């Protein structure tokens, strides 16, 4: 199972773009990269998933370089409500869907 490394915490201000990078040096060929958001006392919420290059949805973008050994979650124009813990996970169906959570990044958005 690919191990992930993220910054423990990040601070930002409202309206700024926030980029959170995750390292996953031993990612396997079939692995996808998925990011989740978690608020206190709630289950994680799916944000975005990608395999290579760039993926964009209504809330975030995910940038994956060609070697796929890292990925960057980009949150445009954050607000106070984006204060949460963000987890980067790597896995594939070949592993039976078992995803191991790393430490996550605690994002604090200030006014």
Q: Are 60 and 107 in contact (CB under 8 A)?
A: no
Minimal distance in Å, beta carbon 29 to other proteins? 13
Q: Are 73 and 84 in contact (CB under 8 A)?
A: no
Residue 98 engages other proteins in binding (rule: CB under 8 A)? yes
The two three-digit tokens of residue 24, written as one number: 């996953």
Mask of contacts with other proteins, 41-60, x by CB under 8 A?
xxxxxx--x-x---------
Q: Are 55 and 37 in contact (CB under 8 A)?
A: no
Where does this chain bind other proteins (CB under 8 A)? Answer: 31-32, 34, 36, 41-46, 49, 51, 87, 89, 91-93, 96-104
């Amino acid at each position: 199972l690919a191990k992930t490394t993220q910054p423990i915490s990040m601070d930002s201000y409202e309206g700024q773009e926030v980029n959170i990078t995750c390292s996953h040096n031993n990612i396997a060929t079939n692995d996808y990269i998925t990011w989740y958001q978690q608020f206190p006392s709630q289950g994680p919420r799916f944000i975005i998933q990608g395999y290579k290059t760039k993926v964009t949805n209504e809330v975030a973008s995910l940038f994956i370089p060609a070697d796929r050994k890292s990925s960057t979650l980009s949150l445009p124009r954050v607000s106070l409500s984006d204060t949460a813990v963000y987890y980067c996970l790597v896995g594939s169906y070949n592993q039976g869907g078992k995803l191991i959570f790393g430490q996550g990044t605690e994002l604090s958005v200030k006014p």
